[in-house]
Amino acid sequence: MSLMSLSPLDGRYRDHVEHLSHYFSEYGLMRCRYQVEIAWLLRLSECPDIPEARSMTPIEKALLLSWREKFDLADAERIKSIEAGIGHDVKAVEYDLKNRLGNTSLNDMREWVHFCCTSEDITNLAYSLMLKDGVQAGWLPLAEQLVQTVTEMAVTSATTPMLSRTHGQAATPSTLGKELAVFGYRWNRQLAQLSQAAYLGKFNGAVGSYNAHVAAYPEAPWECISRDFVEGLGLTWNPLTTQIESHDALAELFHIVMRFNAIAIDFARDMWSYISLGYFRLAAHAHHVGSSTMPHKVNPIRFENAEANLSLSSTLLAHLSSTLPISRLQRDLTDSSTLRNLGTAFGHGVAGLRSLVDGLSELERDEQALARDLEPAWDVLGEAIQTVMRKHGLPTPYEQLKTLTRGKRVTREALETFIQQLDLPPEDRQRLLQLTPATYTGRASLLVRHLSAAGGAIVA
């Protein structure tokens, strides 16, 4: 970690996000651009509609594929040095590949590198590849780990009664597991949408109309060639664009991640509150300091850190989502600078998720504290009593319970006395008399069955 780092992602949180550098760094962008340029050169050599681009021998193909697979920092630094001289990042990739071909039997194929391409043909595909890989391999595993952890917590605490709070006030009891399951279910919906996300790519020239392509090969089926090439990279073809791919799909993806983040922020705040209420105890590490002046403090800093980083992630993703789909006429370069912040947006997201996962590992459920919170909350049974009174047509049930309970300390004895004087069938009266704050949880424990880490149902 460098103490001179400008961003905490490259300093304080480096260990949490370092794996993202393979995807979202400038090196990662160069690597993907190289991948696209090589893939296009191979595609041209195999295209019968472009006869002047000769076929390659198996050895020549293997050489190009090895360059693609073994691309490393030395390759990126060599490209960067070319860019420093010519002032163009994509052209530097093209020149580097041409230089390498010049020392091989593929020297005669040098001018087929970047054939009919505008820089954005290469760059939009490179960004889609790096984003797809970065999300799938860099962000998603941690998101899934979080959901799995909360799912397991929900299952093990499915029957643990808990006093709910609406508007911060005591309310109808639930179970801890059911309340945790709510978050798992919400996250699973977003992950299901993420699994269907499309990563679009275009490959149609300077203004999206195959102008140079048709000038060189007027009879070639350029739309089919373009589609096959984009889909061959594992992306979804966009047939209708300006010079740039319109980035609408990126915005759609970012909104899914923003919703996941929003749920995670909601979760972090609730967990913070449950810790404050004593429902969970935080691990007290002997070598850690909670406060510089209060020795007893063990603070929920993981959840506070998560909230901060997830908020930063969503703020950046919101900016990306609102600006990337906008481009003046057929092209301006605002998206070029904006897209370079993908790593920052996902880096803060990963730092936040890491804090949540680490924070959960330091918690221990305190069932005695949960029980103590419920024990005196007899007033919450007012809902059940007035509902049964309504069932049997008794007069002003809500108003009677409001007079009995609102703003007062309600005891079990007071409720029993009230229930005994009600004109109710014996079975309903007895059921109400047997209720306690800890047993008035409805079907909360059963609802956890709707949750699983994969988004399916837990079989009861």
Q: Residues 66, 195, 291, 322: which is the catalytic one?
A: 291
Q: Residues 2, 167, 287, 292: which is the catalytic one?
A: 167
Rg over alpha carbons for the chain, rounded to the nearest Å, is 30
Give the chain's length. 460
Strands 169-175 and 161-166: antiparallel
What are 269's two structure tokens?
A: 């705040």
What are 249's two structure tokens?
A: 């799909």
Residues contacting residue 7 through CB under 8 Å, at least 6 positions apart:
344
Q: Using CB atoms within 10 A of its CB, is residue 10 exposed (0-12), middle (13-18) or buried (19+)?
A: middle
Q: Among this protein's residues, is 273 annotated catalytic?
A: no
Contact 457, 449 (CB under 8 A): yes
Give the DSSP per-residue string, 48-76.
TT-TTSPPPPHHHHHHHHHHHHT--HHHH
Distance CA(262)–CA(136), nearest Å, equals 20
What are 27's two structure tokens?
A: 């090196």
Q: Among this protein's residues, is 167 annotated catalytic?
A: yes
The single-letter code of the amino acid at 393 is G
Q: Which residues pair with 237 in a beta bridge?
A: 201
* Residue at token pair 């049964």: 388
List, in sequence order, every beta strand (DSSP E) within 167-322: 169-175, 200-201, 236-237, 280-282
Distance CA(50)–CA(217), nearest Å, equals 7
DSSP 138: I
Q: Which residues are designated catalytic?
A: 167, 291
